[in-house]
Amino acid sequence: MKIQKNSNIPKTPTGIHGLDEITGGGLPKGRPTLICGSAGCGKTLFAVQFLVKGITECNEPGVFMSFEETARDLTENVNSLGFDLKKLIADKQLKIDHIRIEKSEIEETGEYDLEGLFIRLNYAIDSIGAKRVVLDTIESVFGGMDNTILLRSEIRRLFQWLKDKGVTAIITGERGESSLTRQGLEEYVSDCVILLDFRVIDQIATRRLRIVKYRGSMHGTNEYPFLIDEKGVSVLPITSLKLEHKTSGEMISYGFPALDKLFKGNGYYRGNSCLITGTAGTSKTILASYFALSSCKRKESTLYFSFEESPEQLLRNMLSVGIDLKPFLKSKLLQIHSSRPSMQGLEMHLLIIQRLIKEYDPKTVIIDPISSLVTIGSSSEVRAMLLRLIDVLKINQINALFTALTHDAKNEHNDLTVDAVSSLADTWIKVRNEEINGERVRSLFIVKSRGMGHTNALYNLSINEKGIGLTPPMNKPSREKQEGLL
């Protein structure tokens, strides 16, 4: 998960989930960092979270110098994210100083400098012993005063002053047309520059973060998706650079003995991931529910993401085939999380999944169906996201089961989900529907199972109110048919 920490620069953790991983520990300690981006991309929020987490997690008081919002506006705006600035201010952990530059009431004559700003900042820092400082957005001074040459040299002096003061600072800047910031602040802040971006792809807004430079430190160079929700900013953790997760030799059951028997190990390795694909109505969800049931019976917490059915509906439908999940839902061993896939962007889903995994610490995770997530992103994104997701599950040694809806049994390999997941999944089970002699026949077979022998036969799948049954084919399917399948 982490980039190796072989750099000597001391770092200050940001408290922004995921960002510390990308930067190998945080922002450069005692130095200014520039965060730039267009309006509304989350700069201020980033900065606020940096201060708040500094106080709550690192015990480092902070000063927020705002050139745009008043202290009151700022407090109200971030309140919705669970940041209680009022309390932090009362506890003398945080100081907000709003610098209002009203051009209409200012006249310039002769020489001046920004010493007043330095004094205010110095006073604010010293009054609470601040270790972290945010200047949001210092470029506003250019809007209020005319002497840009002087302002530039003063801002340069300010950054040097911050360094001498030894505070870790975030300076935000508005994105310029040809440069990172309108006033070219990136020339002065040479230690660390982070670019935030906000764009809309296929009607879904996505936020991206990129570390443009980080002097003297390794850092991830990609664009990382990040998001802002009711818990603040989080950056999506990167995919692991190495495949080094632990593996287990322990066998667990699919919750369906007849299915277990198709595998040589009589079950499924703990921490594996399994993919069940099939067209509509091939009982994928039933198999997934069996899996959930078996996990609950082992008294292991289970997280079920249902993107097509509400929890109530799922319970009712599964009860009709003899799977009673209700007691486990009541005892909180089972958590069912239902949401519409199109409600959020792909990253949001991934983040929610990761957060819930963190929160519940489940041993088993079921995503039913994973293919509905796929409809909301572009193919390269989907692949990256599924890879991240599977990485997270593997690292946490979680038994994972995904179902995927395929549209045409004949060319499943063109299917995006199957394409992306099948190479990542350890076990791949296909279920399908066929019309034979005027009857619909369900069948199941195993495409692959890593590290374990398995049957090659095509089993018939029957469903009644007691559950499902697997029977070896009565009439051996013709040679021709079998080849077509496998």
Binding site for other proteins (CB under 8 A): 97, 99-102, 105-117, 119-120, 122-123, 141, 145
Straight-line distance from the first to the last Cα atom of the chain, in angstroms, rounded to the nearest whole number: 36
Q: How far is the CB of 151 from other proteins (least distance, A)?
A: 10
Q: Decide: 218 and 429 in contact? Cβ < 8 Å.
A: no
Using CA atoms, how far apart are residues 406 and 472, in angstroms rounded to an integer? Answer: 24
User: Which C-beta is closer to other proteins: that of 111 or that of 244?
Assistant: 111
Q: 418-442 burial string, b = 16+ CB within 10 Å, else e? A: bebbbebbbbbbbbbbeeeeeeeeb
Q: How far is the CB of 111 from other proteins (least distance, A)?
A: 5
Based on the residue annotation, tell me whether 308 is a catalytic residue of this protein. yes
Q: How far is the CB of 74 from other proteins (least distance, A)?
A: 15
Tokens standing for residue 77: 């705006």
User: Which C-beta is closer to other proteins: that of 107 or that of 244?
Assistant: 107
In 230-315, the DSSP E strands lie at 232-235, 251-252, 268-269, 273-278, 302-306
Q: How far is the CB of 60 from other proteins (least distance, A)?
A: 22
Catalytic option among 60, 68, 76, 154: 68
User: Which C-beta is closer to other proteins: that of 150 or that of 470?
Assistant: 150
Based on the residue annotation, tell me whether 68 is a catalytic residue of this protein. yes
Show Cβ contacts of residue 131 under 8 Å, excluding neighbours closer than 6 positions: 12, 54, 60, 61, 62, 167, 168
Q: Is 91 exposed, middle or buried (0-12, 13-18, 19+ CB in 10 A)?
A: exposed
User: Which C-beta is closer to other proteins: that of 107 or that of 435?
Assistant: 107
User: Which C-beta is closer to other proteins: that of 86 or that of 120?
Assistant: 120
Using CA atoms, how far apart are residues 54 and 39, in angstroms rounded to an integer? Answer: 25
User: Which C-beta is closer to other proteins: that of 126 or that of 312?
Assistant: 126
DSSP symbols for 28-75: ETTSEEEEEESTTSSHHHHHHHHHHHHHHHH---EEEEESSS-HHHHH
Helix H or strand E encompassing 427: strand 427-436
Catalytic option among 300, 308, 347, 480: 308
User: Which C-beta is closer to other proteins: that of 125 or that of 429?
Assistant: 125
Using CA atoms, how far apart are residues 482 and 324, in angstroms rounded to an integer? Answer: 35
- Provide the CA 443 distance to its chain's centre, in angstroms: 36
Residues with a catalytic annotation lie at 68, 308
